[in-house]
Amino acid sequence: MILAALWRHRASYLFLLPTFLFLAVFNYLPALSGLYHAFTEWETGGTAHWIGLDNFRQMAGDEFLRLSIVNQVILLIANLIKTLVVPLIVAEMLFHLRSKRLQYALRTTLLIPMVVPGMVGVLLWGFIYDPNIGLLNNALTALGLKGLTRAWLGDWHTALPAVIGVGFPWISGLALLIYLAGLIAIPQDVLDSCAVDGASGWKRIWNVDLPLLRGQMRLLAALTIIGTLQDFGSLLVLTGGGPGLATHVPALHMYYEAFRFGHYGYASAIGFVLFLTILAFTVANMRFARSAVELG
């Protein structure tokens, strides 16, 4: 009976076959493999054999990993502020412009940084932070603040703040677009009744705009958390995790363990924990969403 039904719809299954073939090989298989190998000892050139929770015990005692988690938390908080606050302010500013043409023009030009490849942006900021010919130090000197110049990425105290500072003024194009779309979607009668009631300016922003943008903020928060936990390419290029461990993060640790030291099993375990963390945040985000919808 079931076979008959499947045969009747064979066209549909055929259409989906290429998709699932690709997904099986390049997505499902690696995902399951990653989960499995977290529990194995697996070095380059060797075969993997099961060692249960030993990798995780090793992680608990890993000093480098512990310090990297501290950095990661700092980066998470900083990136959340960067993504949720600045683009929102700019979106509100754009929203309040009377001239629609000006709004479109400014919005488009603010998106220009998206045109530059991410790696180029990172390298440019490495250049800005250069102790000798970097923009930052030269600007400080020109302003008479030569005492403040330093090796921003080479100094243990300033490396992490410098990494956070990358992208100043942090107007994320994606966030800006999402917020602006959300603001524009606010029904005109809501805005009109606010104007009639005398709720304008800050009062309106606080009581009307922000609650209505909760969905967008949630989406961006989720994307930011997931992105920050995984992004180590820029750190690899800017500082390599240094100086010392000043900018080291768990994902970078995973990379080094696998591709510099060849400890694939241990690295998989780190990846596994990162995956669980991301999953936990995503689920929490969805729960938070459901309750917000019920209340609001």
Partner 1 sequence: MAVRRGEGKTQRSVGQTALIGGLLVLLALALMPFGMMLVMSLKSNAQIFAHFWELPSPPRWDFYGQAWSALNGYISNTLLIAFLTVLGVLVLSSMAGYTFARHRFPGREALYYLILALMMIPGVLTLIPTFALVKAIAIPEVHIGGIIFGPFALLNTRGALILPYISGGQILGILLCRGFFQGLPEEMFEAARLDGAGEFDIYRRIALPLSKPILAAVAITTALGVYNDYIWPLVAVTDNSIQTFTVGVTKFAGEYNLDYGPTLAGYALGSLPLLLLFALGMRPFIQGITAGSIKA
For residues 64 and 275, which CB has a smaller minimum distance to partner 1 in the complex?
Answer: 275
Counting contacts by CB under 8 A, is residue 22 touching partner 1? yes
Per CB under 8 A, the list member of 215, 221, 242, 288 interacting with partner 1 is 215
State both tokens at 123. Answer: 């390298």
113 binds partner 1, rule: CB under 8 A? yes
Residues 10 and 290: their CA atoms lie apart, in Å, by 38
The one segment of 56-64, 72-80, 157-165, 228-236 that binds partner 1 by CB under 8 A: 228-236
For partner 1, which residue of 115, 143, 196, 295 counts as binding (CB under 8 A)?
115
Neighbours of 172 (CB within 10 A): 22
Residue labelled with tokens 């107007």: 171
Q: Which residue has the tokens 């800050």?
A: 202
Under the criterion CB under 8 A, does residue 131 sit at the interface with partner 1? no
Within residues 31-70, the interface with partner 1 by CB under 8 A covers 31, 33-35, 37
The neighbouring-strand residues paired with 49 are: 41
Binding flag, residue 221, partner 1 (CB under 8 A): no
What's phi and psi for 62, nearest 5 deg? -80, 110
Helix (H) or strand (E) holding 40: strand 40-41
Cα angle 119-122-125, degrees, rounded to a multiple of 5? 150
Going by their DSSP bridges, the two strands 49-50 and 40-41 should be labelled as: antiparallel
For partner 1, the closer CB: 61 or 109: 109
Among 60, 108, 202, 294, indicate the residue that binds partner 1 (CB under 8 A).
Answer: 108
Q: How far is the CB of 296 from partner 1 (least distance, A)?
A: 15
In the bound complex, what is the minimum distance in angstroms from residue 9's beta carbon to partner 1? 4
Candidates 66-74, 143-151, 223-231, 240-248: pick the segment binding partner 1 (CB under 8 A).
Answer: 223-231
9 binds partner 1 (CB under 8 A): yes
Q: How far is the CB of 85 from partner 1 (least distance, A)?
A: 13
Give the separation between CA 219 and CA 215, rounded to whole angstroms. 6
- Site for partner 1 contains 140 (CB under 8 A): no
When the beta carbons of 157 and 227 are compared against partner 1, the nearer one is 227
The values of phi and psi at residue 50, to 5°, are: -65, 130
The C-alpha atoms of residue 127 and residue 162 are separated, in whole angstroms, by 12
Indicate whether 135 belongs to the interface with partner 1 (CB under 8 A).
Answer: yes
- Residue 175 CA to residue 216 CA, distance in Å, equals 9
User: What is the closest distance, in whole angstroms, from the C-beta atom of residue 117 to partner 1 in the complex?
Assistant: 5
The answer to the question of residue 237 lying near partner 1 (CB under 8 A) is yes
Q: Identify which range of 66-74, 76-84, 108-116, 152-160 contacts partner 1 by CB under 8 A.
A: 108-116
